[in-house]
Structures are given as C-alpha cells and as structure tokens.
Amino acid sequence: MGFLDTLFNIADTLAGEIASQASQTPQGRARLEKMTGNRYARQALGNVEEEEEVGYQYMDEDKLEKLARGGDVGARYEFERRGGVIENEENEDVGVENNTVVWQIEKGSFIDKRDGQEYQTVKMPDGKVWMAQNLNYKVDGSWAFKNNEANAAKYGRLYTWEAAKAACPKGWHLPTREEWAALVEAAGGKENAGAILKAKDGFSALMVGHIGRDGIFRGAGHNSFWWTATEYSDGEAYSWHVDYNYEHVYVYVFGGKYYMGDGFSARCVQNDGVAFNKTNASTAKEATKEREKIVAETSVKMPDSRVGSFIDKRDGQEYQTVKMPDGKIWMAQNLNYKVNGSWAYDNNEANAAKYGRLYTWEAAKAACPKGWHLPTREEWAALVEAAGGEENAGARLKAAVGWKSDGGGTDGYGFSALPGGYRYADGRFVDAGYFGYWWTATEYSSGNAYYRIVLYNNDGVNEYYGDKDGRRSVRCVQD
C-alpha cells in the first residue's frame, strides 16, 4: 500500500468514527440527519442503502437537484455552486427561505470614495444593511490571500483586528459581537444560519480562508472568519466563523475568540440612521461629477510666486518647495537624506532619487534639515482640509505623472506627491507606483504612529496609524 493510500484510509476511518460519535447525542443525530448526501452520516444513523451513494461533489445533476429541492442544505449549496437555481415554489417574491426564516431581499450598492470600489449591499433579516461582499480596502495589516491581489479582488482582504477596526468606510463600521449574534439569530440560529449567509443572492459569504499569526494561509474553500469589533482580552478579540465538513455537507456558524494578529475577513455594516441606497447609478454619477469638479478647479497650477527651492547643506541636494493653501511652506519632493533607518526602494538608489527614501518613524523624526521638521498629525490634517478634505485632496496633491494606471492627479498646488511605496520590517518592498505613505510626527501608541496614505485609484488622503518600524516616505515642512 502506498503512502497516499494509507493517508486516505486513515482519513476514511476518522470520518466514520467522528460520525459514529456524533450519533450518540440528540444534537449530533440532528446534525447527521441533515447530511443526507454524506455516506458516513447515513452509516452512523443506520440508513445505508444497498448501493452506496456518493458525496455531493460527485453526485449527478438530477440526483443533486432532487435533494436540493427537498430541503437538503448541503445539496443545495453544491447545486448552486454548479450554477443551479432553486426558486421559492410558494412565492417567488418572498426572498430567501431556510426552515422558518423568510425575508424579502433588498439589494443596493455603495461606492467607497477612498478608492472608488463599488460594493453590493443587502438588508438582512436583522434589519441592518450589510455589505454583501468582504471588504477589499488596502491598509497596513491586511493581506490578499496567498499575497495574490486577484484573490483580494474576488474574496476581499484579510485583516488583523486593529486594521479591521479602522478599515470600514465613512458611514459604516465593523460590527460588534452583539450585531453578529443578532444577524445569526435572525438568519435561523447557529445551526441553520450558514445556509442563508452562503446564499449567492444575499449575504454571499464565501469560504476564503485566513492567515494565521505564523504567516501561513489556510482554509480557502473550507471556512471563513470575520472579525467583530469586540475585544475579549488583551491580545484576543471575538470572531464569527462559517464552516462545513470536508464533503461540503453541513454549514454552521459559531463565534469564538481569536488572536488579534490573525488575518480574518471584514464585513462592514451601515451605521444606524444612514439611508439605504437601493440604486447605484446616482451614486456613481455623483462621484464622477465630484472628480470632474476637482479636475476643473485645479487644472491650472498656482502662481509661480508660491514656488521656491532649498539646498540641504548636509549633502548638497536641492529640493523644490511650495507654499500650500494651509499657509505653510512644504517641500515639493519626498526627502532623500540618507541616515540609519532609511532605505531606497528595492535598495536601488535610482528609486531614492525619484521617490525619496523610506524611513522608520524614529529616523523620520530626525531626518529633516535645520529649519524644517516632520509635520505633525495636525499639520497634515490642516493641509488636507485646505486642499479639499480627506475624500478629495488627493486629486490636487498628486503629481500628474509617475502613478501607475493613470492614477495621477492635477498637481494643482505643485505638491507633486509621488507613490514611493513601503518597506516591511522583514525587508519586503511593495506598492511603489501605486501608493504613497507619509509619516507624521505624532505618536499613536508605544509601537505605532500616525501617517497619511494616497492611492493611485482614488482621490482621498487618509489617515491611519502603523508600526513605527514600517518604512514610509517623509515630507518636511518649514519651521
């Protein structure tokens, strides 16, 4: 017997034993009775036919559809995964039905102005409006599954707990443990809610896996974890988990506590009092109009009297400067002064000449020349507000060229922001050409400090906080 044969035999034996043990309790038997397409479940209940049936994923279409229409949750999941459709026979307009849970689906959409992504939304049976997709907003502390951005586009990103808390757009928030519990209860309870949450015409939960604190990606196709905003203890927070057994049979939902450094998905829920947007055309049109207005307002640069230059006597480099609408004089280039704790992107000095250097927070605080300083959080906020606010200032501050995918701005003030990228503490360089990150001088906590980020695919200038050992760009402002 080969090694793989041995493994398969062990797995087969364990599956049978688990089903047998489950059949010894009323709750376990109730679960097994729902798993009519699983041969181990039938064996444990004594329902073995003379000619044993196969699991759902191998079942022929007619048999699968018959089971699905008969109310078998696992068969319905596999049938719909193959593209089949189960209509509600009593009333096609009722919505989604799972045992006793029936509600009218109200679908909508929402455009995240930070990066222009559109999210489908759905009003769930708890009465709240939830995103019908996992969040895919890139911040520090987030990953695409297996670091493949195509996975992020399909499944959303995976976030640490701290990153997830701050990632939802304005008007939305990371749901609390209680909000998740209310959703699960309204959708049929822990034993049944998985079927509704996985429905493609509703919440549309996908089995996207997660990343552990060890950096290993796991579980794609088998489970999903979503953070709640509720802390359990120092270092742990609550999450909700959707799973099913290895034959894709029984879907269930449960909550638990997990290490805050794990990477889980995020679903945002709309804040109370915000109107449910059932149409997306007007929202998209408004966003386009806003962009066109910004371009028109800033298509001509400010008078040359605002522009100057400065020579750093430490190394002889010349920097262009500009008086910004906040009344302060800023460097119009990223700092490129070499100190300990600074790097050229990809360790290539040609990139430093173009984008400036990337600094740790401690290095950034000391890097600006005499008469200049690293701007505080408040100084950055004043600049952004004067340039049009967090949602729009990027269009005016970004250089017209130097951004990937035509992501440049109008450079209306001559600030000429360029996407210098980021360097992780482990030495990886990412995002040059796409994202620009700039330190502020303001500390958030003992290990984190505030910074600003500008993206190639939207007009925002957003504030976050991140690891002081992360390497980001520096803009100096005159004392």
Domains held by the chain: number: 3
Q: Considering the domain boundaries, does residue 352 fall inside one?
A: yes
Which token pair is 315? 């190394």
Model confidence pLDDT, tens digit, residues 74-93? 566 556 555 666 554 333 33
Q: What residues contact residue 419 under an 8 Å CB cut-off, 6+ apart?
A: 355, 402, 403, 404, 407, 431, 432, 433, 434, 435, 436, 454, 456
In-domain check, residue 310:
yes
173 in Cβ contact with 230 (< 8 Å):
no
- Tell me the pLDDT of the chain averaged across its residues: 76
- One domain for residues 261 and 286: no
Residues near 251 by beta carbon (within 8 Å), at least 6 away in sequence: 73, 74, 77, 194, 195, 198, 242, 243, 244
Bridge partners for 322 per DSSP: 307, 330
Whether residue 275 lies inside any domain: the answer is: no
- pLDDT higher at 307 or 439: 439
What burial class does residue 100 get, using C-beta atoms within 10 Å of its C-beta: 0-12 exposed, 13-18 middle, 19+ buried? exposed
pLDDT at 291: 46
Does one domain contain both 362 and 463?
yes
Q: In the listed set 94, 116, 140, which residue is the last one of a domain according to the structure? A: 94
Residues contacting residue 341 through CB under 8 Å, at least 6 positions apart: 359, 360, 362, 363
Q: Are residues 79 and 136 in the same domain?
A: no
Kindly state the percentage of the chain with pLDDT values over 70: 67
314's tokens: 């430490």
Q: Output the pLDDT for position 358.
A: 97
The reply to whether 308 and 166 lie within a common domain is no
Report the pLDDT value the prediction gives residue 28, as an integer from 0 to 100: 61
The pLDDT of residue 368 is 96
- CA 283 to mean position of chain CA atoms: 21
Measure Cα distances from 38 to 22, 72, 159, 167, 330 in Å.
14, 11, 34, 40, 67
Cα distance between residue 223 and residue 228, in whole Å: 16
Tokens, residue 51: 């000619």
Cβ atoms of 137 and 115 closer than 8 Å: yes
| 174 inside domain | yes
Domain contains 276: no
| Residue that is last in its domain, among 270, 305, 333 | 270
Q: Pick the last residue of a domain from 40, 68, 94.
A: 94
Same domain, 89 and 125: no
Burial class for 300, CB neighbours closer than 10 Å (0-12, 13-18, 19+): exposed
Residue pLDDT, tens place only, 170-206 = 999 999 989 988 888 887 777 677 766 766 567 888 8
Q: Are residues 90 and 32 in the same domain?
A: yes
pLDDT for residue 8: 43
Same domain, 352 and 453: yes
- Between residues 369 and 244, the one the model is more confident about: 369
- DSSP conformation letters of 31-63: HHHH-TT-HHHHHHHT---SSPPPPGGGS-HHH
Q: Which range has highest mean pLDDT (13-22, 159-168, 202-211, 259-268)?
A: 159-168
pLDDT per residue over 276-324, tens digit each? 454 444 444 454 455 455 445 444 344 443 578 889 999 999 999 999 9
DSSP class of residue 434 equals T
Question: Which range has the top average pLDDT, 90-94, 254-258, 344-348, 458-462?
Answer: 344-348
- d(C-alpha 272, C-alpha 139), whole Å: 25
11 in any annotated domain: yes
**209 has a pLDDT exceeding 90:** no
pLDDT tens digits, residue range 98-136?
444 455 667 888 888 888 888 988 888 888 999 989 999
* Residue 334 sits in the same domain as residue 370: yes
**In which domain, by residue range, is 303 found?**
281-478
Strand partners, 153: none
pLDDT, tens digit, for every residue of 132-157?
899 999 998 899 888 888 888 888 99
User: CA triplet 88, 133, 436: central angle to 5 degrees?
Assistant: 165
For residue 416, which amino acid is it? S
Range among 44-53, 273-282, 296-305, 322-331 with highest mean pLDDT value: 322-331
* pLDDT confidence of residue 200: 59
Residue 195 lies in a domain: yes
245 and 310 part of one domain:
no
User: What counts of helices (H) and strands (E) characterise the chain?
Assistant: 14, 26
Higher pLDDT, 61 or 174: 174
**Nearest of 386, 359, 385 to residue 476 by alpha carbon:** 359
Query: What's the rounded mean pLDDT across residues 436-460?
Result: 91
137 and 233 fall within a common domain: yes
Which of 279, 382, 302, 342 has the alpha carbon at shortest distance from 471?
342
60 within domain boundaries: yes
Q: In terms of domains, do 226 and 302 share one?
A: no
The distance in angstroms from the start CA to the end CA of the chain is: 77
Residues 234, 332: one domain?
no
For the segment 355-379, the average pLDDT, to the nearest whole number, is 96
**Coarse DSSP helix, strand, coil percentages of the chain, rounded to the nearest 5 percent:** 30, 25, 45
In this structure, are residues 459 and 394 in contact, taking their beta carbons and an 8 Å threshold?
Answer: yes
Q: Which of 187, 218, 217 is nearest to 205 (CA)?
A: 187
The Cα–Cα gap between 183 and 469 comes to 39
At residue 456, the pLDDT reads 84
Which tokens go with 18? 């688990």
3-class secondary structure for 67-123? HHHCCCHHHHHHHHHCCCCCCCCCCCCCCEEECCEEECCEEEEEECCCCCCEEEEEE
